[in-house]
Amino acid sequence: MPRITVTSDAQTVITTFETSPGQCQDLLDALQSAYAEFISKRPGFIAAALHVNDAQTRIANYSQWERREDFLAMLRSGEMRERNRALNSFCRSFEPVLYDVAATY
């Protein structure tokens, strides 16, 4: 389960994918496959969630990792680089951004 607290040492990553209604489900399927088959099994993985907007033009991905280095090691792996090339074919752009929790309510 996600740990969303100011005192958590977990690394939060939020990625926004820009896509089209015709490609949204393909992108969502590819992301779900990546999490089920690879990402969730990587060292340091805590949890993740995928969100789709009503227009099916954006997918937001929220993930948490034990350490920044764990996320970066997964991202730099050969398998994830190959999967990212496939993900890129279903969207106009995507960018993972690393965050620290500043406040919770």
Query: Has residue 5 been placed in a domain?
Result: no
Which CATH number do you get for residue 59? 3.30.70.100
Tokens representing 6 are 């100011």
pLDDT at 38: 98
Domain membership of residue 85 as a residue range = 11-99
Residue 6 lies in a domain: no
pLDDT digits 0-9 by tens, 56-105: 999 999 999 999 999 999 999 999 999 999 999 999 999 999 999 899 88
pTM summary value? 0.91
105 is a domain residue: no
Place of tokens 């190959």: 82
Tell me the C-alpha distance between 54 and 103, whole Å.
Answer: 27
2 assigned to some structural domain: no
In the chain, how many domains are there? 1
pLDDT score of 18 more than 80:
yes
Q: Within a 10 A sphere around the Cβ of 10, how many other Cβ atoms?
A: 21
Neighbours of 34 (CB within 10 A): 19
The percent of residues above 70 in pLDDT, for the chain, comes to: 100
